[in-house]
Amino acid sequence: MMSDQRINLDMKLHLRDIRREDLSKLFEYQCDPDSNYLAAFTAEHPEDWESFLAKWERIFSDPRIIKKAILYEEKIVGHIAKFERQGIPEVTYWIGREYWGMGIATWALKKFLTLLEERPLYARVAFDNIASQKVLEKCGFQITGRERGFANARGKEIEEFIMVLKD
């Protein structure tokens, strides 16, 4: 990305705490089949509003989870979070499909990482989600392992990369 484009993103993007009123937009993004396919390890029924709300109530009630809305020109375009899986800190993010390819995920992850002192941090990505792998690599994550797991969005077991940011 050219530096003038970077400045443009810095002027148009920001992170803020997720609010309950953001959930309808985040649910809309979760329901997109192309996004689900790439994310792979998604909710079993992404179109189930009640399950979505229950998941987010658990997220809101857990003070260890850091969750931010990603805003572009004051519109919610996705979210980013840090949570723990079996005591291991992981980051995750989701960008609405209409905003893919604009550098938003990379910008958001870089900005989010400045809020977190904890290292190492981990991330997981489907083996064939090249765009997300590149975002993570641009932010300093490196592939350190591989696992196989059942991907709800694909209805089968697939490989995912385990990536780590050490410094």
Integer Cα distance of 90 and 85 in angstroms? 7
Integer Cα distance of 30 and 61 in angstroms? 21
Residue-wise pLDDT tens digits, 46-87: 999 999 999 999 999 999 999 999 999 999 999 999 999 999
Residue-wise pLDDT tens digits, 99-134: 999 999 999 999 999 999 999 999 999 999 999 999
Integer Cα distance of 101 and 69 in angstroms? 18
- Show me where the domains of the chain are located: 3-118
Q: What is the pLDDT of residue 4?
A: 46
The CATH code that applies to domain 3-118 is 3.40.630.30
pLDDT at 1 over 50: no
